[in-house]
Amino acid sequence: MLCMPNNTLQALPEPAQLRVLRALAIQENSVTMPDLDLAALLVSRVCHDLISPVGAISNGMEILEDEQDPEMRKHALALIDHSVKQARSRLLFARLAFGAMGSAGAEIALREAGQIAREFFHGAKFKFVWDAPDIALEKELVKIALNLAQIGGDCVPRGGVLTCKISPAGANAEICITAEGPRANLPQDIISALSAGMAIGDLTGRTIAPHVIALLVKSMRGRITHATAPERVVLTAALPQKLRSA
């Protein structure tokens, strides 16, 4: 534990005093710099996902301000409407996939999670299939399902079918993501992140979510496995949790 007498602290130059006080404040709140680094990367990831639709809304507003042509204004309104819906779907998805969403142990209806996922993937090159019972699931498991689904979607950049299946497996809850399509591929950096073995300094906006989900699965005494075949990637998370009726 970091501890320093007042007289020693006062003897330091002011910038050094500020650094020590900040370190003490972080320690007191049980927040470590690695925690803050992970949070910063997640925030960057969410902001990156929102830049495109928010920028499109701004462009549409500029067209409305400058254009009097009815067709151009109609196009601008359609652009704004589409972008608002896209931004909303991405915010809802991020809130469920990365946010706190209630107290520890809170449950989320899979019907609601599936609707949010369908809206998020609407317009993607692949067809999205949500295959889950009409029950409630612990929020941590919903986070895992949504994040693995997003990873699966990135595995089929040329389109295909993405299926998210959630089912009981004995005493476990099993989440299975199947991505099928031309040149389906699970990149090596994502594989490394899913093992929770990457150093924080090596994480990027692309690998932060897989890394955090791997840590969450590990903390729940679960495991993530992956399998690849020509035009097919399968991600499976098995967790010692029971599904509950809604």
CATH value at residue 158 = 3.30.565.10
Query: In terms of domains, do 170 and 88 share one?
Result: no
C-alpha 76/C-alpha 182 separation (Å) is 34
Has residue 185 been placed in a domain? yes
Domain check: are 60 and 128 in the same one? no
**pTM > 0.95:** no
Amino acid of residue 181: G
Which of 42, 70, 93 is where one domain is finished?
A: 93
Quick one: pLDDT at residue 47?
87
**Looking at the structure, do residues 145 and 236 belong to the same domain, yes or no?**
yes
Question: Which pLDDT value is given to residue 166?
Answer: 95
Closest CA to 144 of 207, 213, 91: 213
Three-state secondary structure call for residue 30: coil
The pLDDT value recorded for residue 106 is 82
- Segments of the chain scoring below 70 in pLDDT: 1-34, 101-105, 169-171, 241-246
Assigned token pair, 191: 């594989």
Residue 183 sits at φ, ψ, to 5 deg, of 55, 35
The pLDDT assigned to 31 comes to 47
- Token pair in block for residue 65: 């301000």
* Whether 70 and 141 share a structural domain: no
* pLDDT tens digits for range 12-25: 565 554 554 455 55
pLDDT value of position 105: 63
Is residue 155, in this structure, part of any structural domain at all? yes
Provide the pLDDT for residue 15: 56
Range of the domain at 53: 33-93
- Residue 214 included in any domain: yes
Q: Of all helices (H) and strands (E), which one includes residue 198?
A: none
Q: What is the pLDDT of residue 67?
A: 83
CA dist 101 and 59 (Å) reads 32
Q: Are 144 and 237 in contact (CB under 8 A)?
A: yes
Same domain as 218, residue 172? yes
Residues 239 and 129 in one domain: yes
Could you tell me which of 62, 53, 106 has the C-alpha nearest to residue 82?
53
| Residue closest to 118 by CA, chosen among 139, 89, 82 | 89
